[in-house]
Amino acid sequence: MHAIEPYWNWRNLYMAEDDPISPFYGREYSEFYFSDHVYDHYIHPQWDNIGSSTLFMKLLYTEYDEGFCIIELIGEWNDCLYNDVMFLKRNIIDVLIDNGINKFILIGENVLNFHPSDDSYYEEWFDDVEDGWIAMVNFRDHIMQDFSECGIDSYFVLGGSLSEFDWRTHRPLAFYQKVEQYVQKRISLI
């Protein structure tokens, strides 16, 4: 896991550590000192610690005028033992929502497992975005199945075209627009 870096090709467009509104403003990163780990596996130092011992992230892009952000995740999403959704919601999502973000794209191809607990933080997050949405891109099939089995899949837009999305070939705004189109189609079917 130490060799998996967060996506870096949009850094010329946005860096959370340079954004005064971002929850990661002012962070400094090392290329050589590995301090964070998921269990006994160190992760690359460019990932951001959200307060959880198993789930880490990178805020790849935020567009306040359009009200969206793109978040890449890595690790194990473990609500059962570590209440990861609480750390994500309180330390990151609430700050973004307070600054006008109501559309969230979560990239989960580096999330290895999911262990559920209750759905209260998911419900709160869903309620907080009001006219927005939370889309899950490239999460593994077994994780989406776990979301479904515990009933939290109703708070997200996931599956279908979002399961195998070649997002790295797009610029952030084009990626967002494609996800937005898909979300609107899914919402219109309900």
The β-bridge partners of 105 are: 70, 135
Q: What pLDDT, on a 0 to 100 scale, did the predictor assign at position 3?
A: 81
187 vs 118 pLDDT, higher one = 118
pTM, full prediction: 0.96
Phi, psi of 122 (to 5 degrees): -65, -45
Residues 139 and 160: beta-carbon distance below 8 Å? no
| DSSP 8-state class, residue 50 | -
Domain-by-domain residue ranges, the chain? 16-37+47-188
> Which two three-digit tokens encode residue 135?
């889309």
**What's the topology of domain 16-37+47-188?**
Transcription Regulator spoIIAA (3.30.750)
Q: Three-state DSSP class for 45?
A: coil
pLDDT, one tens digit per residue, over 74-109 is 999 999 999 999 999 999 999 999 999 999 999 999
Question: Closest by alpha carbon to 59, among 101, 98, 30?
Answer: 101
- What mean pLDDT is predicted for residues 112-134? 96
pLDDT in tens, 130-170: 999 999 999 999 999 999 999 999 999 999 999 999 999 99
Return mean pLDDT, the chain.
Answer: 95
